[in-house]
Structure formats: C-alpha cells, structure tokens
Amino acid sequence: MTTTAVELLEVVWGRASTAPTSASQLRALHILEHHDGINLRTLAESLASTPPSTSRLCDRLQAAGLVERVVSPEDRREVRLHLSGPGRAFLAELRARRERELRTVLAGMPAAKRVALLEGLEAFCSTAAAQIHGAPLDVDGRTA
C-alpha cells in the first residue's frame, strides 16, 4: 500500500510539473528558501553533495534566473546564495499547482476519509520534521 501511495502521489505531483528544474535543483531551491544567504559549502552539505557538484547545480539555477550569488560583505572569498524574485515566484506557483492537483483528488474522497488523511498527515509531518530537523512541526508547518 505504501509503495502504491508514493507512486500515485508522484503522479499527482508530476501533473503539477517542476519544469524547468530537476529534483536536485528543486531541493536546492527549497533549502535556499528556508536558509536565505547560506554559502555554497553549507548548501552542499544540506544536499549531501560535493561543493563542485553544488556549484554546477547553482550555475544552472542562476542561468535560469532562479538563484542569485552575492559576494559576502565580511569575506570577499565567500559567496552567499539567495533565491531571486523569479525563484520565489516559481516556488509559489509550483505550490499552487500542486495544491490544485491535490484538491482535485481530495474532492473525490468522502469527508470522513479526508479527516482521517489530515490527521495522519499531521502525525507524519511532526514525526518527519523531528527526524529531519530535530523538532516537530506546529499546525502551521513551522518547527515548534
């Protein structure tokens, strides 16, 4: 059942399309959204990647206009990474498209099953956040 649910969720998510980004680029954008101004080394660690690979990934994101590189005022050798305005707009639109796709599926479910799913997802989010970030999420999706 879990495998089927994951595969179906990927299909629903896929209908919202993440083009023009790859899965690793999308992960980088999400990290930058939550950790604005981090350096390349920190992003590489967050992605479990190497700095050269992460630098190439950022080159592609910068070329697409989604990321900006800014020289650190404290140390000119360090470059800080920021989502650009179009990068923020891309993530907002992606979330809106995904939400529309999920709402379409949820609208076809009986109300009691939607409530049960919501309760299960809240428990999932709290547990996953605790494992990933060391802190559970509150009801608004922020670490508590």
Q: Tens digit of pLDDT for each residue in 6-55? A: 888 888 878 887 777 888 999 999 999 999 999 999 999 999 999 999 99
Give the residue extent of every domain in the chain: 2-108, 110-144
Query: Could you give the CA distance from residue 144 to residue 126 in angstroms, rounded to a whole number?
Result: 9
CATH class of 2-108: mainly alpha
Round the average pLDDT of the chain to a whole number and report it: 88
Instruction: Tell me how crowded residue 11 is: count the other CB atoms within 10 A of its CB.
Output: 10
The pTM of this model reads 0.78
